[in-house]
A and B are shown apart, each in its own frame.
Chain A
């Protein structure tokens, strides 16, 4: 085994055993991994990095894998709930004048479906996958700011519970997932439903921002030695770009929801034109977030595709540079498309056309990605397994969604089909094709790493077949019924319009799609309990997460790997070179430089703590209370401050004393 020792002369370890020092900063005299045998190393590292036992221990966990697993399971539960909303709506729309669901409940159903899928499923699940995989892929032992990461999860759970308990209390938002004013304003939405929308947004966005910041720092500063910018895996690039998009997009929607709450609760008139406000400002602010949101969901999915394809095509990705350029340029361009959601608001045509141009030209980097993936497959020796099947499904569905997107970028067509089922079909093709299919492929691909067991390949193929047929049967006819004039968000329609048969067909397709998820759930549970043992690298893939055991130990890597290639495990088939010199008795990370990932300094990583949970409870209670009175901000500041003081209380680190 070749290795590079990070230990300098002045801090070579004298052989003295020290107990785990918790939060204490690394001192220069602790035991190091240099020359230590694997068994001792495992013992030391397990003691330093494990999550403490018991309920308090579990609630205090800051292990990125533990937090990510919770995120994944919670987001999956919300996917099921949002899916059930959709099933209920499709049953109601399966024929004309069905009386299963009334207009009031239907309004809540489509709002909760959109809100749940966008804010409680799609964004959290792509971020959760990143929380699990990014530290493993960059070869570090934990995510940066692990307590902030834990805090993000608790805030997300409380936001989701808040929305769904409101739904159970018949208090769910009923103003659509983008809650336009004046409909959501105080005049047309008395009661608390619109407030629930506004505050639920705040919870989930705080959580997303926390995860984004942790991800950015992990990628910039915690990469394994040698993982220079040109050797970063494409999935990690995708998560990095996504996290920046989150940081710049999410504040816009938090401002929107805060302004709405102010209008509703305090009596400001920010969105009230009668008092000098501007209703259109709401749409600008919302869509400045809302369009990048699509790419927040889509870009990580492209990263997943870029991981799955080389593993099964048996060759490195074609056009690595082009794919990185695509990710970066799509990240930027996503901020210049928002007005295409507002073509029907009477904006100047010349101004709108700037956004048409950007909307059409974002197809160039996206097309480059598709080309690079196809070229990789073309030049490789593809092994067709379930993850790759879902990637094929992604190609087919996403390209159709992209083409209807280019159609909708044109103002005249958009005006004709605005708010019809054509738009519903388009964005489901983009979001399900562009994100859910890659996510399903990713589930099959990384499930063995997370659980140590394989999912059933046979059930996986059935799952793909059902999902692909069900999805297209459900959503393709929506293009047609939209062109025939059926508006979205109607709870029923009359028989004379002639939409009955096609809607029955759509509902049948939706049921098939739903069944595919039942099969998927069974496969997940069956795989976790009885799946065949996976081994460390069942797909013989090339990135670092496959270099450790499945599931990975609490400390991820026994020794920090050194990266020599974008697919390090393919470049170093025999043994991966490793760096040594890190302390093993405390949680210590290797911090590297941004561009070349040269080893720079050793840094402590936070130990488990209950304070993030307590802080999240204080923040969550304040958000909840604030839909009733603005004084909640004042009273809530006290417990929030107390919990944050507890969280940040000096730990006696030598660094803090300096």
Chain B
């Protein structure tokens, strides 16, 4: 809870790439499944994972504003802020990639080869 309250500087660095990796693998594997059952799963999963990426970015944002849960007095504030900035930007970038990937489901038929 402390991590949520005070933020975690590396939150976006973890959540962005992780959500994107899950999006790539899961959606790629689910295309044949969606084709067979005609249940649209790609788009909702995409939105969920984009949200996951952004949530991590929010933790980085909080860490930037409030110091971060892991911050100790002997550590340098600039290093923590540097990691938090990387986290915020990474979360935004990977959320964009995830949304772009998923938006293909709006245009293309899942059974098209």
Given contacts A228-B76, A328-B13, contact A357 B97 (CB under 8 A): yes
Chain B positions near chain A (C-beta within 8 angstroms)? 13, 16-17, 20-21, 23-24, 27-28, 31-32, 35, 42, 74-76, 78-80, 82-83, 85-86, 89-90, 93-94, 96-97, 100-101, 103-105, 108-113
Task: Find residues 324-370 in chain A having any chain B CB closer than 8 Å to their own CB.
Answer: 324-325, 328-329, 332-333, 335-336, 339, 346-351, 353-358, 360-361, 364-365
Nearest A residue to B89 via CB reads A325
Q: Answer yes or no: A432 CB below 8 A from chain B CBs.
A: no
Instruction: Give every chain A residue within 8 A of B79 (Cβ-Cβ).
Output: 228-230, 595-596
Q: Knowing A349-B113, A364-B93, say if A354 contacts B86 (CB, 8 Å).
A: no
Q: Does A518 have its Cβ within 8 Å of any Cβ on chain B?
A: no
Contact string against B for A residues 311-328, beta-carbon threshold 8 Å, 1 for contact and 0 otherwise: 000000000011011001
With A332-B20, A336-B21, A353-B104 known as contacts, the answer to whether A596 contacts B86 (CB < 8 A) is: no
Interface size class on chain A is 20 to 34
Which A residues lie within 8 Å of B86 (CB)?
Answer: 321, 324-325, 328
**B97→A361 contact, CB < 8 A:** yes
Q: Is the CB of A350 within 8 A of B24?
A: no
Cα(A365)–Cα(B20), bound, Å: 15
Picked from B21, B93, B113, the residue with its CB within 8 Å of the CB of A348 is: B113
> A-side binding surface: helix, strand, loop or mixed?
helix
| Distance of A339 Cα from B104 Cα, bound (Å) | 15
CB interface residues, A 265-300, toward B, < 8 Å: none
Q: CA A349 – CA B113 in complex, angstroms? A: 5
Given A364-B93, A598-B74, 15 extra CB contacts under 8 A? A230-B82, A321-B89, A324-B86, A325-B90, A348-B31, A348-B35, A348-B111, A354-B24, A354-B27, A354-B28, A357-B97, A358-B101, A361-B97, A364-B96, A595-B83
Chain A residues contacting B101 (CB-CB under 8 Å) are 353-354, 357-358
B75–A356 touching, CB < 8 Å: no
Q: Are B17 and A332 in contact (CB under 8 A)?
A: yes
Question: Please, how many angstroms separate the alpha-carbon atoms of A391 and B112 in the complex?
Answer: 44
With contacts A336-B24, A346-B113 taken as known, whether A230 is within 8 angstroms of B100 at the C-beta atoms is no
Q: Shortest distance in angstroms between B110's beta carbon and chain A's nearest beta carbon?
A: 5
Contacts of B111 in A (CB 8 A): 348
Q: Which of B90, B103, B108 contacts A329 (CB 8 A)?
A: B90
A595 touches B104 (CB 8 A): no
Chain A residues, Cβ within 8 Å of B110: 348, 350
Within the complex, the shortest CB–CB distance from B12 to chain A, in Å, comes to 10
27 CB contacts below 8 A, A to B, read: A229-B79, A230-B79, A321-B85, A321-B89, A322-B89, A325-B90, A325-B93, A329-B94, A333-B20, A333-B97, A335-B21, A339-B28, A347-B113, A348-B31, A349-B112, A349-B113, A350-B104, A350-B108, A350-B110, A353-B104, A353-B108, A354-B28, A357-B97, A357-B103, A361-B93, A361-B97, A595-B83
Chain B residues with CB under 8 Å of A355's CB are 24
Alpha-carbon distance A63/B95, docked complex (angstroms): 44
Smallest CB separation, B103 vs chain A (Å): 8
Chain B hits for A357, CB < 8 A: 97, 100-101, 103-104
> Nearest residue in A to B100 (C-beta to C-beta)?
A357
**How many Å from the CB of B32 to the closest CB on chain A?**
7
CB-defined interface of A9-29 with B at 8 Å, one 1/0 digit per residue? Answer: 000000000000000000000
For residue B94, which residues in chain A have a CB less than 8 angstroms away from its CB? 329, 332
The answer on a CB contact under 8 Å between A358 and B112 is no
Residues of A within 8 A of B32 (CB): 348
On whether the beta carbons of B28 and A596 are closer than 8 Å, the reply is no
